[in-house]
Amino acid sequence: MIKRTLYPETPRIPEKTNNGVVTEKMDGENLTILKYNGELLIAQRNKIFNKDEVFSDGNIGYKGLKGWAREHWEWFDMYLNDNTALCGEWMVGRAKSYPPEVVDKKFYIFATAKVMPGLSLWDFDYYREHVDNAFGISEEFLDLNWLGFVPTVKRIYKFPNKDELDEIYEQYCKYVGGRKVEGFVINTNNMIYKYVRMKNGEVVEYSQTGRKSG
């Protein structure tokens, strides 16, 4: 087992930007599936596991991950391009806080990336329409019923201010049946920013300096 953090901290929103897309910030556990120099690996927030560790009797952390990884290992090993990573949210541990129709899969992708020597990630791509570039297949990949994508909320053509994001948030919560929404991730030209509205299980005002706890 290698102890290392792969996925960087996400900055809060700026004041100005260009074209972009708003996606729902799913309240899951960070998971990365990557291939480096021909070897498939699975990384949690600060731990990286190889095939022997995944297929051993030991625990690798996230609830349900070991069985799911074993089941789909061959598919990822066959189709994921070398020196490429999939970054997403592992939702098994948090699925009960979402309606079944929202979280009906275990892994939801929000980005792809390149893998550099030393197992660091760079060149993140947060656009869903580019995900198939990480694979040797396209349409077949998009039709899989066991991989998901974080939900798209809205396409934007200027960066919304706080009041505009608050309005988008209220509209989106109504659209998804009034359930509690963690917040948004705003992607503009492959730079992402967080708009977080949940703290200790309750909806709060967005704060540029506040951080989620609990």
Do residue 122 and residue 67 come from a single domain?
yes
Mean pLDDT computed over 73-78? 95
More confident residue, 196 or 3: 196
pLDDT of residue 100: 85
Lowest mean pLDDT of 8-22, 96-110, 123-137, 180-194, name the range: 8-22
pLDDT of residue 201: 84
Mean pLDDT computed over 164-182? 94
How many domains would you assign to the chain?
2
Do residue 117 and residue 48 come from a single domain?
yes
pLDDT of residue 3: 81
Q: Which domain holds residue 193?
A: 11-26+151-214
> Quick check: is 3 in a domain?
no
Look at residue 139 and tell me whether its pLDDT is greater than 70: no
Mean pLDDT computed over 103-120? 94
CATH number for the domain that contains residue 93: 3.30.470
Angle among Cα 178, 204, 30 to the nearest 5 degrees reads 80
Do residue 129 and residue 202 come from a single domain?
no
- The pTM is what? 0.86
Question: Residue 14's closest CA among 165, 199, 181, 132?
Answer: 165
pLDDT of residue 213: 46
More confident residue, 167 or 189: 167
Structure tokens at 24: 């729902």
Mean pLDDT computed over 57-86? 95
**What is the average pLDDT score of the chain?**
89
Mean pLDDT computed over 7-29? 80
168: left (phi over 0), alpha (psi -120 to 50) or beta: alpha
Do residue 58 and residue 109 come from a single domain?
yes
pLDDT of residue 138: 61
Q: Are 193 and 13 in contact (CB under 8 A)?
A: yes
> Quick check: is 89 in a domain?
yes
pLDDT in tens, 19-67: 789 999 999 999 999 999 999 999 998 899 999 999 999 889 899 999 9
Q: Are 193 and 11 in contact (CB under 8 A)?
A: yes
More confident residue, 4 or 146: 146
> Quick check: is 138 in a domain?
yes
Do residue 129 and residue 157 come from a single domain?
no
> Quick check: is 1 in a domain?
no
Do residue 79 and residue 176 come from a single domain?
no
Percent of the chain with pLDDT over 70: 90
Domain endpoint, select from 109, 134, 150: 150
Do residue 107 and residue 193 come from a single domain?
no
pLDDT of residue 158: 86
Do residue 102 and residue 67 come from a single domain?
yes
pLDDT of residue 196: 95
> Quick check: is 83 in a domain?
yes
Residue 29: partners with Cβ closer than 8 Å, 6 or more residues away: 44, 45, 62, 89, 90, 91, 93, 94
Look at residue 127 and tell me whether its pLDDT is greater than 60: yes
Domain endpoint, select from 119, 150, 181: 150
Do residue 161 and residue 142 come from a single domain?
no
